[in-house]
Copies of this chain bind each other. A is one copy, B any other.
Amino acid sequence: MSEHVVLTLIKQADKAISTEAFDTLMDFYADDAVLVVQPGQIARGKPQIKEAFVAIAKHFKSTLTVTQGAAHVIEGADTALVIMETHLHIAETAKPITRRATYVFQRDDTRGWLCTVDNSYGTDLLDAE
């Protein structure tokens, strides 16, 4: 089975994060997308999302790279739910940090699949109650 197009897009987005190509990265998001920066902190819309990624890169002293592990894409109506292992590699830790992420994509008639909800914390958000 060929890879779902949103997995290809996520790989391209991960590359943009790793190379700090944040303008390119914004092309993967819907205009009014949301990013869970950390439990309790949301960035809404491209300007805030870009600002959050710039701050994250700075926090990790530009050593962050992101790679994918196992993934499922569940497509229904014009949306897709992605369940994915996301590995965060940073200079200060020997092993990558692995999260079980959840992403929502929506198919736009002209722009194709765009990320509308980027929640790398997955269901672990429930632990932050």
- Using a CB–CB cutoff of 8 Å, the interface residues on chain A facing chain B are 30-34, 36, 42, 44, 70, 72, 74-81, 83-85, 100-102, 104, 106, 114, 116-119, 122-123, 125-126, 129
Contact = CB atoms under 8 A, between A and B. Distances in A.
Nearest to A69: B126
A-side interface mostly: strand
Report copies per complex.
2
A33 B123 contact: no
A25 to B, nearest CB: 16
Given A77-B31, A102-B83, A72 B126 contact: yes
B117 A81 contact: yes
A100 B59 CA distance: 31
A35 to B, nearest CB: 8
Contacts of A84: 126
B117 A79 contact: yes
Nearest to A35: B76
Given A34-B74, A74-B119, A104 B79 contact: yes
